[in-house]
Amino acid sequence: MVATRKVRLIHKIAKKLNLRDLEVTKRLDIVGDVVILKAPEALSESRFQLARELLQEIPRIKVVYRQSSPVSGDYRLRELEWLAGERRSITTYKEHGCLVEVDVQKDYFSPRLARERTIIATQVKNRELATRTGEYIVNMFAGVGTFSLRIARESSLSKIFSIDVNPDAFNRMFRNVLTNKMLNRIICVYGDATSLVENLLRRRADRILMPLPEKAIQYLEPALRALKNEGGVINLQNFVYAGKGNSPIECSRTLLQTKLQSLDCDYEIEDERVIRSVGPGWYQVAHDVRAMPDRSK
């Protein structure tokens, strides 16, 4: 559905239920034909009616859930309350020609990272065009494989080593790679990224993807060990608190630089951007870092 039409329909529903438009539009994710409503306390009593209205007004939506807990745990999952529609949690999400199967209850996935996936895929594509060679890429926290699939779709020479420790997400990632006919480009591996880097991927990568904002900075040491001796790019995400008047990018950069300096590596931050606001004063920030690892480690 075109975004502007979706917004108009949501505004219509909000008006009908006497809800503030902003309260609804900022708290709703659509993944395939599943809606996840992040209903605030003000919507708690009207959540079932709101869910029914969404099903009626947006025909392609078949299931509505309410997020009832924050994302947490090693698998980055959240509790969901079924509100209306079919009794299922598996759906197919489409993004720039990629078909991605997602279980919204068992896998971490955010449609709000689509722009960031486009940025990274474009970086890889542009490098291929400039050098006429592909990159060897390690996606340390691949989930159901959306970043890996987008890169493989946009490029033609690069190979992606796609890792995840969540068995449900890994199984779906493998099926997604099969569905999108990318077995020759994406290597799916189940397990802990740190041990896999140490035992299998040391000094092999031109690029590292770290789409785990809760812990990416903590995993910088194994990421550096995966880079080739001549160095490469680390695409890292971070959650950071930035109080009133403070720059989220500068706050995140300070944390990143402190960690990189402690690891005694040469680096240059090539680009950085705010991906989104995730709460009062909290932001998800992306950094693209060209790093030269300490070869003695």
Q: Let me know: does 248 contact 279? Beta carbons within 8 Å.
A: no
Record the pTM: 0.92
Helix (H) or strand (E) holding 57: helix 47-57
Cα 154 from Cα 163, distance rounded (Å): 20
Domains (range + CATH), the chain = 3-88 (3.30.300.110), 110-292 (3.40.50.150)
For residues 250-274, average pLDDT: 97
Number of neighbours of residue 204 by Cβ within 10 angstroms: 15
Pick the more confident residue, 281 or 7: 281
- Each residue of 195-209: pLDDT tens digit? 999 999 999 999 999
- From the list 226, 223, 222, the residue with the least C-alpha distance to 201 is 226
Model confidence band, residue 22 (pLDDT cutoffs 50, 70, 90): very low
pLDDT of residue 44: 65
CA 112 vs CA 42, 48, 78, 227: distances in Å = 24, 24, 16, 28
Those residues with Cβ within 8 angstroms of residue 132's Cβ, 6 or more apart along the chain or in another chain: none
Cα 140 from Cα 73, distance rounded (Å): 17
Those residues with Cβ within 8 angstroms of residue 61's Cβ, 6 or more apart along the chain or in another chain: 30, 33, 34, 35, 54, 55, 85
Report helix, strand or coil for 30.
strand
pLDDT of residue 1: 46
Model confidence band, residue 107 (pLDDT cutoffs 50, 70, 90): very high
Q: Let me know: does 182 contact 151? Beta carbons within 8 Å.
A: no
